[in-house]
Structure formats: structure tokens, C-alpha cells
Amino acid sequence: MTWRATVLTLFPDMFPGPLGVSLLGKAREKNLWSLDVRDIREHGLGKHRTVDDTPSGGGPGMVMRADVACAVLDAAANGTPQIYLSPRGKPLAQARVRELSSGSGVTLLCGRFEGLDQRAIEARNLEEISLGDFVLAGGEIAAMALIEAAVRLIPGVLGAEASPTEESFENGLLEYPQYTRPQSFEGRDIPPELTGGNHSEIAKWRRSRAESLTKARRPDLWALYEKPKG
């Protein structure tokens, strides 16, 4: 079964964008995954296809209407998880990406303006996901990031020789540093542990560097990694 990404947006021309090139684009051509982009404004109200209104209680900006959002969600419903990309959502983690990638696909609602009427989120039980502690102009870039993260885990997308198992977050650590030729560059040499051919020493060095990087840069991940299992 082909993994399906359904995107609900006010700017359908933004897609496929970067999702249509490189390995992801080739995988889409091979039907390893599909992309269905729908214009929210098709469900807008009146001759101007209105999708938003002023915030109840006052304040700046506009809010996407619940009736419009639910109409487009219902029209696109296909049994996949329905996700609203929002800066107040739960941060996207690799574990959730793996779960989504192993399913049949996702339906992503891209917000704009000041947000989405809370009643739509509750009425359709939307999962709110954030890329991090920052705010974008809309959910489209976040949708692309989520789709890319999930699609690259689909068997066959990265190729038979590639494996994501040693990448950052896959084992609770950041990835170790990578090197390639030339042996020496601007006075910096490849660590000798990587060039001696001793696979156990290579594995030990990589684990050590992954641990030190995680401890220094992501103490939150390091705390979870150190936490006793069981």
C-alpha cells in the first residue's frame, strides 16, 4: 500500500516544492508515496470564498473558521491521522515520525492567520504538532518537514544500502561526527580511530563522540539516555 500524504492548505502552489526533488521526488515517481494537496478555500463561504473571521473577544489578526476547517477535513478524510501544525503543539520527535511512517499516511492541516477556531480542533480530535519553539507564517513548511521525515523512513526511499538506524535521535543520541577524503584538510586530520580498519574501535569511537555531543548540546536527551531502563 502506498503511503499517502494529504495536505490541506490555502497555498497549494507551494507543493510539492522540495518534496518533488532528489530521493523523495524519485520515490514519489515510483509510487512509494503519494501527495494529495487540497485548497482550503474550495470550502470557503460566499463568492469570496471566505475562510476566516475576527477573533472572538477582540485582538489582532484573523482566525480560521471552524465550519470551513471541518468541511475540508471531512472532505479529505481517509482514515489517516489528522494533524494540525501549530506552534503550541507537542514537539515532533523521531519516535512519532516512525509511527506515522509505518502507517498508511497522514492528513496535515496547515494553519494561517492567528490560528484555528478551537472548536474545530476539538470536534475533529486533531493532533497538534510543532516543529519547535518558534513561529512560522503558516503550516506549509512544517508540513513539508514532517512529510520528508516520514517518507525517508519508508523502505526503498533511501536505497538498499542506506540505513537510518545510526542517525540522530534513532538511539537516543545525536549522531557522531562524519568524515571523508581528503585525509588532511586545512591542518585537520581524520581521527586515526576511523582509518585503522578496526571495526570495534570505530564503533567505540563513534559511540563515545555521540555521547559527548549529546551531553554537551542536548542535556534533555542526555538525561533521558542516562535514565535507567525498566
Share of the chain above pLDDT 90, in %: 91
Domains detected in the chain: 3-151 (3.40.1280.10), 165-230 (1.10.1270.20)
Write down the mean pLDDT value for the chain: 95
168-218 pLDDT per residue, tens: 787 899 999 999 999 999 999 999 999 999 999 999 999 999 999 999 999
pLDDT of residue 166: 65
pLDDT of residue 165: 64
Angle at 173 between CA 225 and CA 193, to 5 degrees: 120
CA distances from 137 to 9, 15, 43, 85, 151 (A): 13, 16, 21, 11, 24
pTM (predicted TM-score): 0.91
116-138 pLDDT per residue, tens: 999 999 999 999 999 999 999 99
- For the chain, the first-to-last Cα distance in angstroms comes to 36
CA distances from 187 to 166, 194, 196 (A): 28, 17, 20
Residue 34: pLDDT over 90:
yes
Residue 32: pLDDT over 90:
yes
Angle at 87 between CA 83 and CA 90, to 5 degrees: 60
pLDDT of residue 228: 76
103-120 pLDDT per residue, tens: 999 999 999 989 999 999
CA distances from 116 to 86, 143, 167 (A): 9, 16, 35
Strands 52-53 and 105-110: unpaired
CA-wise closest residue to 103 among 24, 27, 6: 6
Cβ proximity of 70 and 123 under 8 Å: yes
Give the residue-averaged pLDDT of 34-40.
98
Instruction: Kindly indicate the confidence band of residue 227, based on its pLDDT and cuts at 50, 70 and 90.
Output: confident
pLDDT of residue 168: 72
Please tell me the distance from the alpha carbon of residue 227 to that of residue 230, in angstroms, as a whole number.
Answer: 9
CA-wise closest residue to 176 among 148, 145, 204: 204
Residue 230: pLDDT over 80:
no
